[in-house]
Amino acid sequence: MQDNPRWLALKTLLLVTGQGRSIDSATDAVVSDVTGLEARNLSLYQELLKGSCRWYLALQSILKNYLRKPFKTKDADLEIILVLGLYQVLLMRIDNYAAVNETVKLAQLQNKPWARGLVNGVLRQVIRDELAIDATHHADSYPQWMREKISRDWPQQCQQIFQAGNSRAPLTLRVDIRQCSIQASIESLQEQGVSGVCHEVVESAIVLDKGCDVTGLEGFSAGLISVQDAAAQLAAVLLNCKAKMRVLDACAAPGGKTAHILQSAEDLELVALDQDAARLQMVEQNLFRTGGRARLICGDAANPAEWHQGSGFDRILADVPCSGSGVIRRHPDIKLLRRESDIAKLVERQRSILTALWSLLNPGGLLLYSTCSIFKDENERQIGWFVENHDRCMEKSLDSVQWGLERPWGRQIMPGQDNMDGFFYACLQKAPVDGS
Q: Which residues are catalytic?
A: 372
Of 377, 425, 374, give the one whose Cα is nearest residue 403: 425
The two most distant CA atoms of the chain are separated, in Å, by 79
- How do strand 361-371 and strand 313-319 relate by DSSP bridges? parallel
Residue 270 β-bridge partners = 247
Find the helix packing angle between 116-128 and 96-109, rounded to 10°: 160
CB proximity list for 208: less than 8 A, separation 6 or greater: 170, 171, 172, 173, 189, 194, 195, 196
Q: Which residue type occupies 1?
A: M
Q: Closest Cα to residue 16, out of 302, 412, 415, 338?
A: 338
Give the 3-state secondary structure of residue 206.
strand
Q: Which residues contact 348 (CB under 8 A, 6 or more apart)?
A: none
The CA–CA distances, whole Å, from 407 to 267, 369, 384, 392, 425 equal: 34, 14, 11, 21, 10
Q: Which of 6, 89, 19, 15 is nearest to 48 (CA)?
A: 6
CA 328, 413, 292, 206 dihedral sign is: positive
- Sign, CA torsion 214/218/219/222: positive
The end-to-end CA distance of the chain, in Å, is: 70
Cα 395 from Cα 410, distance rounded (Å)? 8
Residues 6+ apart with CB under 8 A from 68: none
Q: How many helices (H) and strands (E) does the chain have?
A: 16, 13
- Helical segments of 359-418, H only: 380-388
